[in-house]
Structures are given as C-alpha cells and as structure tokens.
Chains A and B, each alone.
Chain A
Amino acid sequence: QKEVEQDPGPLSVPEGAIVSLNCTYSNSAFQYFMWYRQYSRKGPELLMYTYSSGNKEDGRFTAQVDKSSKYISLFIRDSQPSDSATYLCAMNTPGGSYIPTFGRGTSLIVHP
C-alpha cells in the first residue's frame, strides 16, 4: 500500500462548481497536512496547511482532515478557470525533517 494515495484525475467541472479533492494515507504518524497547487511546468505553491484533525478555511478553500479515517480533503467553492491546475496533497510527521510525502496530484480543469 502506498503511503499517500491520490486520484490523478483529470477532474473536469464547470465554472462555479464546488470541487472536492481527496487523499488517503496509511501512516498514522502523519500530523501535518498540506495542499499545494501546481500549474503546468511550475513549482508547487503552498495553498493550505493544517495540523492534526479538523477544518481550516481560507477564502474559497477549505481543508479538512479526518485522522480516524486517514482521509484529507480540499474543497474549492465557486471554482474559477484560474483554479485549473494540479493539486498535490502532502503530509509529514512531527519533530521530523519537514520533508513531506507527496501524493501524485489531481489534475483539475474548470471550464467556463
């Protein structure tokens, strides 16, 4: 079983839709959870950062962590064509080297 699983997509939605992106993981020691956005041929850009379980909201983005299910989600409200990118989940353990384990990324396409 891979440490971090993420459906590569592509996920295609109309503008204005609510998008749900998800990752599952197997390592129960993960405590820090991140979502990165990566535009084509660019580096990952940190979007959201959460610690342990719960929700965190930032504008149109909400990150959700369910440690009991080893499942994390990123919701995008009122999606825009500019949200079209690959979204990478990443996670790491506390007191460690700050080196995240990445998922494969989900390609999101928001069409006008």
Chain B
Amino acid sequence: EPEVTQTPSHQVTQMGQEVILRCVPISNHLYFYWYRQILGQKVEFLVSFYNNEISEKSEIFDDQFSVERPDGSNFTLKIRSTKLEDSAMYFCASRRGLAQSTDTQYFGPGTRLTVL
C-alpha cells in the first residue's frame, strides 16, 4: 500500500541553524501538508501546498519557514534559523485531491526535531 515517507526520522540541531525536513508524498496525490506536534500537545497545521504554491498557512508558519517541491517527488520544509520552541514532531501529509467528501489526508511517520 502506498505511504508517505519522511526523512530523517530524528534531526538534532543547534539553535540558529537551518534545517530541511524531507517528505515523499503518495505518488498520485496533489495536495501536500506540513503539521507539527509539540510533545504532549495536539497536532497543529502549518501549511498546505498545491500546484507548486502555498494554498494556506497558519500563523505559526512565519518567515522562518518555507516549503518547496524541488522535483516531482519530494516536498520539503525548511526552517531558516531554528529556535528552541521549534522542537517538535513534524508530520507531512498528502491528499489525492478528489472532489468528494471522503478525500482525506494520509500522514507520514514524522521527523522528530530537537533544537539544542
């Protein structure tokens, strides 16, 4: 069964460093998402991406964040200058893009980001 994959599974970085989190969405999906989950808290939406542009973003997704689909398979989240509070699990998700109510998102296993 097709699945969303993410790399790395765990990333440790120093405060102020740039990190890039990578995702490979399901191949025939058209919509892509990033979420984060701080330990013990709920899953929070960051950004959605469709047709090579951001379609929606939350207030968390400030100028320190950017997303890119550099080729036909990868979808990346970049954090330019990491802060301690960026430590969280980051989930990528993708959706087929069907015009029907049962079209839902499929999540990857996540990247655990630890900022020291």
Contact = CB atoms under 8 A, between A and B. Distances in A.
Interface string A45-75: 1100101000000000000000000000000
Contacts of B107: 36, 43-45
Interface size range on A against B: 20 to 34
B25 interface: no
A107 to B, nearest CB: 10
A97 B110 contact: no
B43 A88 contact: yes
A29 interface: no
Interface of A: 32, 34, 36, 41-46, 49, 51, 88, 90, 94, 97-100, 102-105
Interface of B: 4, 31, 33, 41-45, 48, 55-56, 89, 91, 93, 95, 101-110, 112
8 contacts: A43-B110, A44-B43, A45-B107, A46-B106, A97-B56, A98-B103, A99-B56, A104-B42
